[in-house]
Amino acid sequence: MFKIRSFLSPYRIPMTIALTLMLIELAVELIHPLLMAKIIDDGIMKEDLTVVLVWGGIMIAVSLLAFASGIINSFYASHVSQSFGFDIRTTLFSKVQGFSFEQLNRFPTASLVTRMTNDITQLQNTLFMGLRIMLRAPLLVIGAVMMSFFVNAKLAAVFVIVVPIIIWLLIWIMKKGSKLFNTVQTKLDHVNGVIRENLVGMRLIKAYVRRNHEINRFSRATNELRDKTVTALRTIETAMPILLFVMNITIIVILWTGHTQVSNGTIQVGEVVAIVNYGLRVTSALSMFSFIVMFLSRSRASASRISEVLDIDDVEERSDKTNRLAEGRVTFEHVSFTYPGTEETVLKDISFTANSGSTVAIMGGTGSGKSSLFQLLPRLYEVDEGNIFIDGVNIHSMNSKSLRDQIGYVPQEAILFTGTVKENILWGKEDATFEEVVEAAKASQIHETIEKLPEKYQTKIGQKGVNLSGGQKQRLSVARALVRKPKLLLLDDSTSALDVKTEQRLLKALEKYSCTTLIITQKISTAQQADKILLLDEGVVIAEGTDAQLRDSSPLYKKICQSQAREEVKHAKATH
Ligand SMILES: Nc1ncnc2c1ncn2[C@@H]1O[C@H](COP(=O)(O)OP(=O)(O)OP(=O)(O)O)[C@@H](O)[C@H]1O
């Protein structure tokens, strides 16, 4: 919570101005009944028109002052609340960018989205309300009670009993409400999660005709959200009529005792009217409380959810060593790795060397640890045991940003961003020239396809690359990696959707980049072109060598070759 409060520091001055203006409004509101009492007792009762006109004029003047203060207060309240929200959102976003994968796994994606949008909006609204009316309501209650005592202490004594009871009740509701709204926000996370999964997987949903299943899933999530919200709002709303009932009884008591005292001549009519007026203002302030308590409860829940993200420790950069990779020679030395928070060791005692400029194909069954091995190289995860060296330097001691800058990593799923083809390639190296972009596209065998697009390199790519085929997306992702002219290129099954000829051309074109290439593949045709093949099984390297060597020495490799050869024969027969 402390961190969130610190976001208010830059706005101390506008907040002070807004609060001062709010206090002016409040003061005017509190003076009004006094002026009214004066007009009744000294003007109307004594039939003195000058008093009525003079004090009436003063009343109008202070009302205008309150009006102007209210308007300027709104300006400041909007400015402060929006800027405060902007600052938190920007900080939260950049905080998440610095998360390690282990930290990222602690929050579901949809929950992070809710925290960065809805939760921050809750805080913004609360701050706006805070600067406009939130403080005004409690201060109005306190001020009205004090002024009543000033007018007539005996008559106002009833407030001393009633107000503490009401304050206690309000605190109780707020604590309860805050817990309930926490659950509401979690349910909102869930709804966002379902929506996100649904929109991302729309093609699959249609292909599997799962529309009704998805509609039911969404209905369940949104029903839960509705039920929890209704429970939270009910708890807060039912308390309000109780408060107002108590206040109305209080006013009746004041009127009753006031009436008796007026008859006895111990109090003037104007004084009774003033105290009743203060009572009514307290009542109206309390009816504002239902909103205030709701806003406070909600924002307390939201603030703690935002703090959870802000409180995550920054990943410490161990080194500012910005080694330039000269050759890209990779050495794994007895590397073992377990995903944080899990038990199973997914890579066990891995040792191998990929010479500079060479191509190493990594093969293995699904779940054998191929992608995990890749993620260790740009240090997306840290090794548990052993060491990884690039050009003889332990990557553990290298600055992670400089290390990643020099690696071209193409993940298994080709991810494209909304923007043009050129922008997507430039994503790999912002300051690349157009010639470099074209060069990378040519090497990735995507240049000709791009040239056929309506606006060539300026063609807009639809959301997630919907207007491109799987193979085109893959090649564009490879171009994005090549444009940075990496010393080390990691292709995670990134040529799976390419036909053999295109893939061969792509691999040939890579030679000119003279980078070390590690390529995860399921295809023997790809592996055959590599200088070395690593065969992984359940996180262990079970065979290492060239295609010819493995055909002799590895029964598993031989089996894969035979089964793929059979597939090819079947495929050839089918196409004839
Ligand atoms: N983020 C993660 N957290 C925990 N375990 C994971 C994570 N990612 C993968 N694993 C586990 O690590 C093991 C190896 O997964 P990995 O993705 O490296 O396999 P792979 O060989 O690349 O498989 P595939 O060819 O199917 O992509 C699997 O048992 C998988 O369940």
Which residue puts its alpha carbon closest to atom 7 of ligand 1? 339
Q: What is the pLDDT of residue 323?
A: 66
Which residue puts its alpha carbon closest to atom 18 of ligand 1? 369
Residue 7 C-alpha to ligand 1 middle, in angstroms?
40
Which residue puts its alpha carbon closest to atom 9 of ligand 1? 372
Mean pLDDT of 370-374: 92
- Both tokens of 165, joined, read 């009871």
Q: What is the pLDDT of residue 511?
A: 81
Q: What is the CATH number of domain 319-406+486-576?
A: 3.40.50.300
Q: What is the pLDDT of residue 192?
A: 85
Q: What is the pLDDT of residue 4?
A: 84
Mean pLDDT of 427-437: 89
Q: What is the CATH number of domain 87-310?
A: 1.20.1560.10
pLDDT value at 465 more than 60: no
Crossing angle between the packed helical segments 136-151 and 12-38, to the nearest 10 degrees? 30
Q: Is the CB of 369 under 6 A from ligand 1?
A: yes
What are the extents of the domains in the chain? 87-310, 319-406+486-576, 415-485
Q: Which is the closest atom of ligand 1 to the Cα of 342?
A: 4
Which residue puts its alpha carbon closest to atom 17 of ligand 1? 371
- Whole-angstrom distance between the N-terminal and C-terminal Cα of the chain? 70
Position 319 confidence tier, pLDDT thresholds 50, 70, 90: low
Q: What is the pLDDT of residue 290?
A: 66
pLDDT higher at 549 or 494:
549
Residue 233 C-alpha to ligand 1 middle, in angstroms?
44
Q: Is the CB of 368 under 6 A from ligand 1?
A: yes
DSSP 553: H
Fold agreement between 87-310 and 415-485: no
Position 316 confidence tier, pLDDT thresholds 50, 70, 90: low
Residue 347 C-alpha to ligand 1 middle, in angstroms?
10
DSSP 152: -
SS (H, E, C) 429-450: CCCCCHHHHHHHHHHCCCHHHH
Q: Render pLDDT for 489-530 as a digit per residue (tens, 0 to 9).
A: 999 888 777 777 888 888 888 888 778 999 998 888 888 888
Size of the chain in residues: 576
Q: Which is the closest atom of ligand 1 to the Cα of 373?
A: 18
Q: What is the pLDDT of residue 197?
A: 85
Q: What is the pLDDT of residue 317?
A: 64
Q: Is the CB of 339 under 6 A from ligand 1?
A: yes
Q: 415-485, superfamily in CATH?
A: P-loop containing nucleotide triphosphate hydrolases (3.40.50.300)
Q: What is the pLDDT of residue 137?
A: 81
Mean pLDDT of 54-61: 91
Q: Is the CB of 366 under 6 A from ligand 1?
A: yes
Q: Is the CB of 38 under 6 A from ligand 1?
A: no
pLDDT higher at 56 or 47:
56
Read out DSSP for 265-278?
TSS-HHHHHHHHHH
Q: Is the CB of 367 under 6 A from ligand 1?
A: yes
The per-residue b/e assignment along 292-330, b for 16 or more CB within 10 angstroms, e otherwise, is bbbbbbbbbbbbbbbeebbebeeeeeeeeeebebebbbb
Residue 409 C-alpha to ligand 1 middle, in angstroms?
17
